[in-house]
């Protein structure tokens, strides 16, 4: 689902973790080992009122385990707390890396595109990533437990892009859950449903993100691409635009943050579009100066895409 306003090759790959880069395999063996009915572990651990607080950061992973254990006991009268707890420990394993997907991530990064994870996760995510070695394989990690919102909530995507300081129009989001993909696309983000590694490969290939031979060592941002100075308040954006205009930058027009669905949002960001420096050069040639100015107002600079 191509997002509105996308142009050229993405400079950020926003990637789901579970079901894309990490796999847990079937839970049947764990259930058999603990003499539990089929699918009982997932039903208890992933119940909305059990999982929701954990992936939104309202409880930690240990309390999630306890809540899932108690739900399993409540759902199955023949299962005692000790057996349920041991089964949940085994079920909540770190999982395994999908090697073919990891190789694709490496190729994307080798081509100069940033890769960040956006995942619905609990407080144990950092430990899991370190154990699997994935903390070294991506440029950034955005966990739902840290930002307080989980996919497919639109605010999860908005907060992720603000954390990553990146433009939605230059972002590709890939997820194995169709509902999450649809939510991202509704915000104007280029989004691809990737239920298999083959689908992920196709999504990346079709956007020229696997052609490392011609892009390795190069920036994915066009040297002629405009920049956006992103600020939190409209009056700040207007002040910055006026200052830049006086110095000779152009065109310095002010717009609301380019995420769809935020027309009436109180927390919408404001952006100043900058195309050329006072010397008439592309704005990217003096990006450092714009970043210094944005830092003074707790803002940031990103490419317009």
Structure confidence by residue, pLDDT tens digits, 83-104: 999 999 999 999 999 999 999 9
Q: Write down the pLDDT at residue 259.
A: 53
Per the structure, the complete domain to which residue 250 belongs is given by 227-303
1 belongs to a structural domain: no
Alpha carbon distance 244, 230 (integer Å)? 14
Averaged confidence pLDDT in the chain: 89
pLDDT at 45: 98
- b/e code 253-275 from CB counts within 10 Å (16+ = b): ebeebbbbebeeeeeebbbbbbb
Tokens of 51: 């999982």
Residues 150 and 107 in one domain: yes
Is 135 among the domain residues?
yes
Measured between alpha carbons, how far is 226 from 214 in angstroms, rounded to an integer? 23
Which of 157, 188, 215 delimits the end of a domain? 215
Specify whether 101 is located in the same domain as 209: yes
Q: Is residue 7 part of a domain?
A: no
Work out the percent of the chain whose per-residue pLDDT is above 70. 89
Q: Are residues 209 and 108 in the same domain?
A: yes
Number of structural domains found in the chain: 3
Residue 227 has pLDDT above 60, yes or no: yes
34 within some domain: yes
Examine the pLDDT at 105 and tell me if it is beyond 80: yes
Higher pLDDT, 256 or 160: 160
């Amino acid at each position: 689902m191509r997002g509105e306003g996308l142009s050229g090759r993405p400079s950020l790959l926003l990637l789901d973790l579970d079901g894309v880069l990490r796999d847990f395999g079937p839970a049947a063996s764990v259930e058999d080992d603990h003499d539990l009915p089929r699918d009982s572990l997932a039903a208890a651990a992933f119940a909305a009122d059990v999982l929701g607080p954990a992936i939104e950061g309202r409880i930690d992973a240990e309390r999630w385990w306890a809540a899932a254990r108690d739900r399993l006991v409540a759902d199955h009268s023949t299962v005692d707390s000790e057996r349920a707890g041991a089964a949940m420990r085994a079920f909540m394993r770190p999982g395994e890396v999908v090697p073919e997907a990891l190789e694709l991530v490496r190729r994307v990064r080798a081509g100069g595109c940033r890769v960040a994870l956006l995942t619905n996760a609990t407080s144990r995510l950092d430990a899991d990533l370190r154990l699997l070695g994935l903390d070294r394989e991506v440029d950034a990690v955005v966990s739902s437990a840290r930002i307080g919102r989980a996919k497919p909530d639109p605010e999860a995507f908005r907060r992720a892009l603000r954390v990553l300081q990146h433009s939605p129009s230059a972002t590709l989001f890939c997820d194995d859950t169709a509902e999450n993909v649809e939510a991202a696309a509704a915000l104007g983000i280029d989004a691809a449903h990737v239920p298999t590694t083959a689908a992920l490969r196709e999504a990346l290939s079709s956007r020229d993100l696997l052609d490392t031979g011609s892009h390795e060592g190069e920036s994915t941002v066009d040297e002629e691409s405009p920049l956006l100075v992103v600020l939190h308040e409209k009056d700040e954006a207007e002040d910055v635009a006026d200052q830049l205009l006086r110095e000779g930058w152009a065109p310095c027009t002010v717009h609301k943050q380019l995420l769809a669905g935020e027309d009436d949002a109180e927390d919408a960001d404001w952006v100043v579009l900058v195309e050329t420096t006072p010397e008439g050069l592309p704005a990217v040639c003096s990006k450092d100066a714009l970043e210094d100015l944005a830092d003074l107002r707790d803002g940031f600079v990103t490419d317009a895409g």
